[in-house]
Amino acid sequence: MTDKIKEIDARAMDACSESFRSIDSISHYCTEKVLNAFSEQRISEAHLHGSTGYGYTDIGRDALDKVYACAFECEDALVRPQIISGTHALTIALFGMLRPGDYMLSITGSPYDTLYDVVGINEGTGSLKEYGIGYIEIPFENSEFDIEKIKEHLKNKSIKLIFIQKSKGYLNRRTLSSKEIGDITKVIKDIRPDIYVMTDNCYGEFCEKHEPVYYGVDLMVGSLIKNAGGGLAKTGGYLAGTHECIERCSYRLTCPGIGRESAATGEYLKDFYQGFFMAPHTVAQALKTAVYCANVFKSIGYAVNPEPDSKRYDIIQTIALGSPDALIAFCQGIQQGAPIDSFAAPVPGDMAGYADKVIMAAGTFVQGASIELSADGPLRAPYTAFMQGALTFESGRLGILKALENIFKINGKSL
Ligand SMILES: *Cc1c(COP(=O)(O)O)cnc(C)c1O
């Protein structure tokens, strides 16, 4: 490491201390919630062994649902290895809650890319649209709810579900706090108590003391290879919310009539339990890495979002790198700092559903797990890297320093 890089690192570490204290305090609070949930459900060794076949009377699976519900402060939950991803969890929720003739209304603009086929914005086979379910979105301009438009649409009784994406995902927008989501939910429910409000909670879990369901959202969903799996879950997703929503979704997750009674958990349960126990701590490691990254890159003149000291409601950090070379150098540095495939150099490639080439760095133990240190970005101005994760802050810091070194190599003027 050059003296210049050592100095940037030291300054960034100093600048992090206050944010780190607040991250530690949230992690402490959430760890207590999770421990209380384990204790209330009297989790024992017997719960950690999964089931086979139909998975009837799988006490570990049923108790884990209750542990999630308890820690997330809602009535009920479904946590399953059969949920293959966040997109699948969202799909189960949408198909579980909506019926032909109904409309869903997104009030945070366009949903996550992979939902375009699910909703039918792209002509995806088996989409909601094919089943006669409509989709309307209200732009999320300047990252604010358009309350007047929302109220106007609520007069339409066919609208049965309001969709809110908490995290900015890969968009240039603000991430919402759970409380803000709760506030808009209250406005909506005052006008239409019959409507369901759901939240795409991917990347949001344990970044704050409370989740959106605590503030009145009916249903939220997420992936176990992001925050809630704590870096240990090998696959899976969850849905959490009211009894009514969870029951409806259970018949879509498996079959009408069977619902939550069946689903073998194989070898997955122990990691799900231990991962959920670890999750508040693991999320804190990712948040610290994000804050550190923001401090490092801001100090050398790059635009970062969120700002180093602002409150965080998800684990994503963006850095506008300004040139294709810098974006590639950044992602290659993150890859070099990874425990797995550190020797591989990611290059931009075409990806289904994206207009521009995309570069992705992920040297992860679990394929594609973005709770582990990872970065990606589309090759278009302002050449923004979306960075998230790190199972340990130590490794996150080292990865960021590799990215910094790489950028200095191609970008001599910054030295
Ligand atoms: C990751 C993510 C999803 C779904 O992702 P999968 O890759 O299918 O797990 C949905 N919404 C947001 C905001 C996300 O970050």
- The string of DSSP codes covering 243-264 is HHHHHHHHHHHS-TTTGGG---
Q: What pLDDT, on a 0 to 100 scale, did the predictor assign at position 169?
A: 87
Instruction: Considering only residues 122 and 108, tell me which one the structure prediction assigns the higher pLDDT.
Output: 108
Give the distance (Å) from ligand 1 centre to CA of residue 170.
9
- Rounded CA gap, 350 and 381, in Å? 17
pLDDT classification of 353: cutoffs 50, 70, 90: low
DSSP 3-state of 377: strand
And the tokens for 360? Answer: 């992705």
Give residue-wise pLDDT tens across range 241-266. 999 999 999 999 999 999 999 999 99
Atom of ligand 1 nearest to the CA of 225: 9
For a substitution probing ligand 1, which of 173, 200, 376 has the most ligand atoms within 8 Å of its CB? 200
Atom 4 in ligand 1: residue holding the nearest Cα: 86
And the tokens for 229? Answer: 């799996």
Give residue-wise pLDDT tens across range 128-164. 999 999 999 999 999 999 999 999 999 999 999 999 9
According to DSSP, the β-strands at 196-200 and 219-223 are parallel
Distances (CA, A) of 334 to 71, 320, 360, 383, 390: 33, 16, 10, 16, 10
Q: Read off the pLDDT of each residue in 355-370 and give the average, rounded to a whole number.
A: 94
- Rounded CA gap, 316 and 375, in Å? 9
Distances (CA, A) of 169 to 8, 109, 175, 265: 28, 12, 8, 29
Is the whole model's pTM more than 0.95, yes or no?
yes
Give the distance (Å) from ligand 1 centre to CA of residue 33.
25
For a substitution probing ligand 1, which of 88, 168, 202 has the most ligand atoms within 8 Å of its CB? 202
Q: Which residues are near ligand 1 (CB < 6 Å)?
A: 85-87, 112, 114, 165, 167, 169, 200, 202-203, 223
Q: What pLDDT, on a 0 to 100 scale, did the predictor assign at position 59?
A: 98
Give the distance (Å) from ligand 1 centre to CA of residue 411.
33
Give the distance (Å) from ligand 1 centre to CA of residue 379.
20
- The string of DSSP codes covering 310-374 is S--SSS-EEEE--SHHHHHHHHHHHHHTSSSSTT-----B--TT-SS-EEEEE--SSTT-TTSSE
- Rounded CA gap, 231 and 228, in Å? 8
The fraction of the chain above a pLDDT of 90, given in percent, is 95
Atom 9 in ligand 1: residue holding the nearest Cα: 86
Atom of ligand 1 nearest to the CA of 87: 8
For a substitution probing ligand 1, which of 114, 116, 174, 316 has the most ligand atoms within 8 Å of its CB? 114
Q: Read off the pLDDT of each residue in 9-32 and give the average, rounded to a whole number.
A: 98
Give the distance (Å) from ligand 1 centre to CA of residue 403.
25
Atom 2 in ligand 1: residue holding the nearest Cα: 202
- Mean pLDDT across the chain: 96
pLDDT classification of 412: cutoffs 50, 70, 90: low
Give me the domains of the chain, ranges plus CATH numbers. 3-29+280-411 (3.90.1150.60), 50-276 (3.40.640.10)
Give the distance (Å) from ligand 1 centre to CA of residue 92.
14
- Rounded CA gap, 48 and 196, in Å? 34
Give the distance (Å) from ligand 1 centre to CA of residue 269.
22
Give the distance (Å) from ligand 1 centre to CA of residue 225.
10
Give residue-wise pLDDT tens across range 268-311. 999 999 999 999 999 999 999 999 999 999 999 999 999 999 99
Residue 316 has pLDDT above 80, yes or no: yes
Atom of ligand 1 nearest to the CA of 85: 9
CA atoms within 13 A on the CB side of 354: 16
Give residue-wise pLDDT tens across range 78-118. 999 999 999 999 999 999 999 999 999 999 999 998 999 99
Give the distance (Å) from ligand 1 centre to CA of residue 221.
10
Q: What pLDDT, on a 0 to 100 scale, did the predictor assign at position 415?
A: 45
DSSP 3-state of 185: helix
Residue 326 has pLDDT above 90, yes or no: yes
